[in-house]
Amino acid sequence: MIYYLIIENMSPVVIGETTLGGTFLADSGWPMLLKIIKNFEDLTFKFEIKDEKNKLYSLDSFMDKVNRGGVIDQT
């Protein structure tokens, strides 16, 4: 499953994808998401996280999903 970071007035950026085993492989949007969490926590309402099936995730539910699978590549 591929996950996208959607920020207002920007094109979607791939955060990463999960493998069949559930491991999360980070992509170019991963550092952006971490920077938002670390530096702009009060701005979390200004972006969305969606998967390739257009399912919307809250920041907490997405991070829980990532933490369950583990991040093995942070490109």
Distance CA 1, CA 38 (A): 25
Q: List, for residues 37-56, the tens digit of each pLDDT value.
A: 887 766 655 789 999 999 99
Distance CA 8, CA 34 (A): 17
**Tokens representing residue 52 in the block:** 């390739």
Mean pLDDT, the chain, whole residue set: 84
Residue 71 has pLDDT above 90, yes or no: no
**Which among 59, 1, 70, 65 has a CA at the least distance from the CA of 33?**
59
Distance CA 70, CA 12 (A): 23
Identify the bridge partners of residue 5 per DSSP, sorted by sequence position.
13, 49
Distance CA 4, CA 30 (A): 9
